[in-house]
Structure 1
Amino acid sequence: MALILCLETATKNCSVALSKDGAFLAAKEFAGENYSQAELLHTFIQNVLDEAGVKFADLAAVAVSAGPGSYTGLRIGVAAAKGLCYALSIPLISVSTLEVLATPKQLHSGYKVPMLDARRMEVYTAVYDANNQIIEPVSAKILDEHSFENFSETLVLFGDGATKCKELFAHRTNIIIDESLPYPSAKDMLALAHKRFTDGAFEDVAYFEPFYLKDFIAGGGK
Structure 2
Amino acid sequence: MLILSIDTSTTVCSVALHQINEDTAQNPEKTGLLGCYELFTERTSSAMLTTLISDVVRHTGHDLQQLDAIAVAKGPGSYTGLRIGVSTAKGLCFALDKPLIAVNTLDAMARQVAPSVTSTADSPPILCPMLDARRMEVYCAMYGEAMTVVMPTSARIVDEQTFADELDRGPVLFFGDGADKCRPVLNYHPNARFLAQLIQPSARTVGELAGVAFAENQFEDVASFEPFYLKDFMTTKPKKASV
TM-score band, normalised by the shorter chain?
over 0.9
Letter in 1 for 2:98: I
Task: Compute the displacement of 1:164 (Å).
Answer: 0.3
CA contact (8 A) 2:46 2:88 kept: no
Counterpart secondary structure, 1:127: strand
With over 3 angstroms needed to count, the CA separation of the structure-2 counterparts of 1:39 and 1:61, relative to structure 1, is same
**1:58 aligned onto 2:57:** no
> Which aligned runs of 4 or more in structure 1 are off by greater than 3 angstroms?
none
The structure-2 alpha-carbon separation of the partners of 1:115 and 1:217, relative to structure 1 and needing over 3 Å to count, comes to same
Q: CA deviation at 1:130?
A: 3.0
Equivalent-residue separation in structure 2 for 1:37 and 1:178 (angstroms)? 30
Give, in angstroms, the shift of residue 31 of structure 1.
Answer: 1.4
Kept after mapping to 1: 8 A contact 2:17/2:56: yes
How far apart are the structure 1 equivalents of 2:232 and 2:191? 33
C-alpha distance in 2 between matches for 1:123 and 1:39: 29
* 1:133, distance to aligned residue in structure 2 (A): 1.0
38-47 vs 76-85, which deviates more? 38-47
The percentage of aligned residue pairs carrying the same residue is: 44
User: Using the alignment, how far apart are the partners of 2:35 and 2:128 within structure 1?
Assistant: 28
Match of 2:147? 132
Structure 1 residue 178: deviation in Å? 1.2
CA distance in 2, matches of 1:40, 1:206: 24
1:168 partner amino acid: V
Letter in 1 for 2:69: A
User: Higher Cα Rg: structure 1 or 2?
Assistant: 2
The structure 1 residue matched to 2:171, chosen from 127, 131, 154, is: 154
Partner Cα distance (2:145, 2:130) in 1: 16
Q: Give the drift of 1:111.
A: 0.3
Q: Which amino acid aligns with 1:204?
A: D
TM-score, length-scaled by structure 1: 0.95
Report the equivalent of 1:181: 198
Asked whether the 8 Å contact 1:27–1:187 carries over to 2, the reply is yes
Matches within 5 A, 1:53-202: 53-106=61-114, 107-108=117-118, 109-151=124-166, 152-202=169-219
Q: Secondary structure at the match of 1:166?
A: helix
Give CA-to-partner distance per residue, 1:48-92, whole Å, 9 cap, x none: 011111111000000000101000000000000000000011100
Instruction: Describe the SS at the equivalent of 2:92.
Output: helix
Stretches of structure 1 lacking an aligned partner (at least 5 in a row): none
Residue 48 of structure 1 corresponds to 56
Q: Is the 8 A contact 2:131 2:177 kept in 1?
A: yes
Q: Secondary structure at the match of 2:187?
A: coil
Unaligned runs of 5+ in 2: 25-31, 119-123, 238-243
The match for 2:228 among 203, 211, 217 is 211
SS of 1:73 mapped into structure 2: helix
Q: Tell me if structure 2 keeps the 8 A contact 1:165–1:177.
A: no
Distance 1:105 1:50, change over 3 A: same
